[in-house]
Structure 1
Amino acid sequence: MLTHKDHFHGSDLEKIEQIYGIRKEDIVSFSANVNPLGISPKLREHLAKHIDCITTYPDREYSSLRQCMADYVGTEKENIIVGNGSTELISLFIQIEHPKKAMILGPTYSEYEREVSLGGGTTVYYPLKEESGFKLDTTHFTSKLDDSIDLLILCNPNNPTSSCISLDDMRTILDVCKEHGIYVMVDETYIEFVEDVVHTSAVSLTAYYNNIIILRGTSKFFAAPGLRLGYAITGNEDLLRNMNQRKNPWMINSLAAIAGELMFQDDEYIQATRDLISTERARCYQTMLNSKRFHPYKPTANFMLMRIMDEDLNSGILFDRAIREGLMIRDCSTFPFLNDKYIRFCFMDPADNDRLLDCLLR
C-alpha cells in the first residue's frame, strides 16, 4: 500500500513505472478514458502515404479539415476553429472573454478553474448532488445564475460523474444565461460516446444562440491524445473573428490536419467504437449494480464513477490493488466534492473489463 499521497492522471504512466516497478507497456489504463480500439484503421493505413505533407506549410485556413469536421458534427465549416488540443482553445477563449467570475459544475475536470485563474478571474462551484446520482437539477441550477457571472463552464457528459445534460435542458440553460449576459462554454470531449449523439450534443444550438462555444477533441474517442488536435464550434462570428486574429498562424501541423480528415471519415471505426462502448457500459454497470460493495452512478459516457460502500475499502487501497495487477483506475479523492470513497474507470475491451471487475469485486 502507498504510504505517500500520490494521485495519478491517466497520462502518468512514467510515475507508475518508477513507484511500482511496472513497465508502462504492461499497464492497462482504465484512467485515461481513451477508446480501447486504438487509432482509426484508416488513419493507420493511410497516414504514411501523406508523409510528404510536412515539406510544405499547412493551409492557414485548414479548409479541408474544417469541412470534414463540419460534416462530422453537423454544422458549417465557417463555425469551426481548430487548435492544438482543446486545452489551447480553452485558453484562447478565456483570454478573449476575460471572465471576472465563472461558474463551474462540480465535481469536474480541474483545468477549467486553472485557466480562469490564469486569466485573473475567480471561480464558484455549483455542486452536483450525490443523492441525485450527480444529475443536474436544471430548475434549481438556473435559479442560482445572476448578472455577477460572466462565464458558465459545462462538461457534457461530465467528468468524472459520467452524467449528461439533455438538449432540452441545455436550451433552458442558454435562455437563462442569455438573460444575464453569461457566455456558456460546453466541453463535449466525451459526447461521441453517448447513445444518441445528435439529440444530446449542443452543436445544433449554435445556429440559434450566440452565447455558446463547444469544445471537442480527438484524444478520447479517436484514441489520439498525442496528436493534439482539437476544435471548437460556435455561431458567434465576432468571437470566431477574435479567436482567429489572436491564434497562432498555424495551430496544428500538416500531419495532424491530414490525420483529422482520415479519422472523421472512418465510419466503420466510429460505429464499432459506439457499439463496443454501449455494450460494455451496460454490462459493467449492471455487474457493479449487483454488488453491495459499490454504488455505481449510471454512466452515459465511456467511463463510470462509483462510490465505495465497503467500510474496509477506500480509493487508495483499490488503486494499489489494481495497479499491482497492471490495471490503472482513477482515485477520485482529488476531485472537488468527492473523497477517498470514490473511484472511476473507463470501459476497455471485454477481457480487460473482466479482469478489472474481478479485481475490484474480490
Structure 2
Amino acid sequence: MMKKKQTFHGSDLEKIEELYGIKKEDIIPFGGNVNPLGISPRLKESMAEHLDDISEYPDRDYKDLRNSLSRYLGIPAEDIIPGNGATELIGLTFQLLCPKNALLLTPTYSEYTREISLAGGSYKEYFLREENDFRPDLENLKAHLTADVDLFAFCNPNNPTSSALSADEIREILDHCRQNHIFVMVDETYVEFAPDIQKISAVSLVPDYPNLMVLRGTSKFYAAPGLRLGYGICSDFQFREKINAIKNPWTINTLAAVSAGAMFEDEEYIRRTRELISAERTRCLDLLSGCPHLKTYPAYGNFLLIRLLDGTTSFEMFEKCIRQGMMIRDCSSFEGLDGEYIRFCIQKKEENDRLLKMLTGN
C-alpha cells in the first residue's frame, strides 16, 4: 500500500502503471467515464477512407462538420462553434467573458476553476447538498444569481454527482439570468447518456436565449478523447464572432473534421450504447442501493457516485480496487464532497460484475 495518498484523474493509466506495477492494458478504466463499446465503427471506416486528406489544411469554417452537427442536433449550422475538445471552448468562453464574479455549481469538473483563473477572472461556489441528492433548490439558487454575478456555469449531468437539472428548470434559471444580465454556460458532456436526453438538454433552449452557450464533446459518449473534438452552441451572432476572433485557426485536424460526421450518423452504435448504459446503470443502482454500507444517488450520466458508510476511506477503496485491476475514482479531490465518496462509470456487464462483487462484498 502506498505511504502517501495520490490523486488520479480517470485517464491516468500511465501513472497507475508506474506506481502500482500494473500494465495499463490489464486495468479496467472505471474512472474514465468513457463509452465501453469503444469508438464508432462508422468513424473507423470514415477515417480509413480519408487518411490522404491529412495532406490538406482543414476548411477554416468547418462547414461540412457543422452541417453534420446541425442534422444531429436539429439546430442551424451557423449556431455551432467547433473546437479542439469542449475544453478549448470552455477556455475561450472564460477568456472572452473574463468573469469577475462567476457562480459555479460545486462539486464539479475542476477545469472550470482553472480556466477562470487563467483568464484572470474570479468565482464563487454554490454547494450542492448531499441531503438533496446533489440537486440545487431552485429558488435558493436564483437568490444567489444576483446582478453582480456575470457568469453561471454548470455541468448537466453533473460530474461527479451524476445529478441533473431538467430543461424546464434550466429555462427558469435562464429567464432569471437574462433579467440580471448573466451569461450561462451549460456543459453537456454526459447528456447523451441520460435516460431521456430531451428532458434535461438545454439545446432546444438556445434559439430563445442569446445569453446561453451549450457545450458538448465526443470524448465520453463517442469514446474518442484522442480525436479532440467538441462544439459549442449559441444563438448570439456577436458572441460567436468574438469567440471565432480569438480562436486559433485549424484547431481541429483535417481527419477529425472530415470523418466525425460518420459517428453522428451511426444509429446502430448510438442505440447499442444507450441500451447498454441504461440497463447496466439501473442494475448497478438496484444492487448497490440494497447495501447498508453504501449510499447511492439518482444518476443521469454514465457513472455513479457512491458514499462509503462503513469507515472505509475513498482512497482505501481505490487501492483495494486497483490491486484487482479496476480503476475507480477517489472523489476526495473534489471540492464540496465532505465524506468518503467514490465514482465509477458503467462498463460492460462482466466488468461491472467484478466491481459490484468488490463493493458489495458478495
Q: Which TM-score applies when normalising by structure 1?
A: 0.98
CA distance in 2, matches of 1:234, 1:228: 20
**Could you tell me which residue of structure 2 aligns to residue 347 of structure 1?**
346
Q: Partner amino acid for 1:116? A: I
Kindly indicate whether residue 218 of structure 2 is the aligned counterpart of residue 218 of structure 1. Answer: yes
Residue ranges of structure 2 left out of the alignment (5+ in a row): none
Question: How far 1:339 moved relative to its partner?
Answer: 4.0
- Computed over aligned residues only, the root mean square deviation of the Cα atoms, in angstroms, reads 0.9
Question: How far 1:145 moved relative to its partner?
Answer: 1.1
Contact 1:296 1:305 in 2 (8 A): yes
CA distance in 2, matches of 1:323, 1:57: 43
Q: Partner amino acid for 2:297? A: Y
**Could you tell me which residue of structure 2 aligns to residue 242 of structure 1?**
242
**Could you tell me which residue of structure 2 aligns to residue 335 of structure 1?**
334
SS at match of 1:199: helix
Cα distance per residue 1:313-343 (max 9 Å; x no partner): 1101110010011100000001011145100
* Equivalenced residues, count: 361
Q: Partner amino acid for 2:247? A: K
- Give 1:58-97 correspondences, 5 Å limit: 58-97=58-97
Cα distance per residue 1:290-332 (max 9 Å; x no partner): 1111001111110000110112x11011100100111000000
**Could you tell me which residue of structure 2 aligns to residue 324 of structure 1?**
323
CA distance in 1, matches of 2:190, 2:73: 13
Cα distance per residue 1:265-298 (max 9 Å; x no partner): 1011011100100000000000100111100111
CA distance in 1, matches of 2:360, 2:55: 53
Structure 1 residue ranges (4+ consecutive) displaced by more than 4 angstroms after TM superposition: none
Cα distance per residue 1:244-280 (max 9 Å; x no partner): 1221121201111123111111011011100100000
Contact 2:99 2:123 in 1 (8 A): no
Contact 1:150 1:181 in 2 (8 A): yes
CA distance in 1, matches of 2:249, 2:313: 48
CA distance in 1, matches of 2:4, 2:172: 45
Kindly indicate whether residue 298 of structure 2 is the aligned counterpart of residue 314 of structure 1. Answer: no
Evaluate the alpha carbon distance shift between residue 203 and residue 347 of structure 1 in structure 2; reply closer, same or farther with a 3 A threshold: same
Kindly indicate whether residue 44 of structure 2 is the aligned counterpart of residue 44 of structure 1. Answer: yes
CA distance in 2, matches of 1:138, 1:340: 24
Contact 1:16 1:22 in 2 (8 A): yes
Question: How far 1:45 moved relative to its partner?
Answer: 2.5
Cα distance per residue 1:93-141 (max 9 Å; x no partner): 1111111111000110111011111111111000111001111211111
**Could you tell me which residue of structure 1 aligns to residue 269 of structure 2?**
269
CA distance in 2, matches of 1:113, 1:251: 23
**Could you tell me which residue of structure 1 aligns to residue 141 of structure 2?**
141
CA distance in 2, matches of 1:200, 1:280: 20
SS at match of 2:231: strand
Contact 1:316 1:340 in 2 (8 A): no
Kindly indicate whether residue 113 of structure 2 is the aligned counterpart of residue 113 of structure 1. Answer: yes
**Could you tell me which residue of structure 2 aligns to residue 180 of structure 1?**
180
**Could you tell me which residue of structure 1 aligns to residue 356 of structure 2?**
357
CA distance in 2, matches of 1:206, 1:43: 28
SS at match of 2:285: helix
- Give 1:23-38 correspondences, 5 Å limit: 23-38=23-38
Contact 1:98 1:119 in 2 (8 A): yes
Q: Partner amino acid for 1:161? A: T
- Give 1:130-209 correspondences, 5 Å limit: 130-209=130-209
Contact 1:277 1:347 in 2 (8 A): yes
Q: Partner amino acid for 1:296? A: T
Cα distance per residue 1:34-86 (max 9 Å; x no partner): 00000001112331111111111111111111111111122110000101111
Contact 1:74 1:203 in 2 (8 A): no
Kindly indicate whether residue 9 of structure 2 is the aligned counterpart of residue 2 of structure 1. Answer: no
Q: Partner amino acid for 1:64? A: D
CA distance in 1, matches of 2:338, 2:208: 40
CA distance in 2, matches of 1:24, 1:60: 37
Between stretches 31-40 and 120-129, larger displacement belongs to 120-129
Q: Partner amino acid for 1:325? A: Q
